Amino acid sequence: MALWMEAGSEPKTETEIADLQAIAALKESTALELKENGNELVKKGKKHYQEAIDCYSRAINQKALNDQDTSVLYSNRAHVNLLIGNFRRALTDSQHAIKLSPANIKAYYRATKACLSLNLLSEAKSYCESGIEKDPSNEELKKLAKQIDLKKMEQEHHEAQVSKALAEAKELVSAIEDRRLKLGNAMHRELTGLRKPVLDKSGIIHWPVLLLYAEVMSSDFIEDFCETDMFSAHLDIISIYRFGFILYESKCLLVHQSCPPLPWDEKNHYSREAIELYYEAGSGICLSKTKILRYLLEGTAAANVESIGEEEKDAADGYPHGNSAGSSKWVKVNEKRTLHDVLKERNFIIPMIPVFYVVSKRSAFYKDFITGKWTPPV
């Protein structure tokens, strides 16, 4: 009996030959039946896709069909794997199909589809071109070729945007380092959003600046505070807005949803001549270059890049700065100084966006503030 023959041995009798032929025919018949069963299961819909894959796999494992027919089995299984999102398996099956039968056009189509789904655009283009070379009139492959070209253009555009965002962020960080400015963790993100400083073509930094009225924690926002501007210019403009006038020729842009006057300032304590500006002296930790870059890249095309090229040579976060528990040290801002002059103070850690506190000398709150009895809410 052929079933009892040792592996690798040749049949010696006509009976053994006949037995082997019968076994081969049975396995071939089983493989073809499994193939048809798989095809029918695919037609029944997605609930039967896994069963179809199982049928094709069992048919392949019979090892009873010629290369061309086995290629079809791999190609069919690749098709179902595409349908259920197993793109890597679909690609592997398509590659097996092509290797067994280089004329299997469907295998090229499915390999192309799998590569597209895996964002392997160069490989997708190669399989697609090979398929069109063998079947120049194949419209489906031609459609895929257009998709690949479009996706390559989109990818190149995205890569250009990523490179641009990275370059701009690194240039800005270099400018910040050259000025010896210290940046810490971002604060008041609910107010500042994704606003960030900008370095212009002349190498000047334009900062978004948050003004907080400490007494009530209301806010104003200066969108573009050039580092060479004096504080007095911006405070003058805010006061003009508060009294309802419009200044057309100013480069200072102020955004506030309820400009004139301050609805909570019933006694008009916060007039131009009564307000003073303060910052909180050195509170927090100076961040590393990598963390600053990550912050600057938020909301850009490069926000999710895995490496920004600074990790290995970057230093860890700097030493913490802070004041005694339960108190804050407030430093008054000289309005005749520029933003740059104030930001470069050794005790000023910028919470990514400069934050200044506005208080009124006329308010009862003023004494508590300057004596350190008031601290910003957490």
Percent of the chain with pLDDT over 90: 69
Determine contact, residues 308/172, Cβ cutoff 8 Å: no
Residue 359's CB is within 10 A of a number of other CB atoms, namely 25
Does residue 176 carry a pLDDT above 60?
yes
**Rounded Cα–Cα distance for residues 378 and 376 (Å):** 6
pLDDT of 18 reads 67
Tens-digit pLDDT profile for residues 359-370: 999 999 999 999
Tens-digit pLDDT profile for residues 236-247: 887 766 544 433
The full set of domain ranges for the chain reads: 2-151, 182-283+322-370
Residue type, 56: Y
**Rounded Cα–Cα distance for residues 320 and 309 (Å):** 26
Residues 6+ positions from 213 with CB-CB distance below 8 Å: 219, 220, 262, 270, 357, 358, 359
Determine contact, residues 112/135, Cβ cutoff 8 Å: no
In words, the CATH class of domain 182-283+322-370 is alpha beta
CA-only gyration radius of the chain, Å: 36
What b-and-e string marks burial along 173-200, b requiring 16 or more CB atoms within 10 Å of the CB? bebbeeeebbbbebbbeeebeebbbebe
Percent of the chain with pLDDT over 70: 83
Tens-digit pLDDT profile for residues 310-359: 655 555 555 555 454 444 589 999 999 999 999 999 999 999 999 999 99
In words, the CATH class of domain 2-151 is mainly alpha
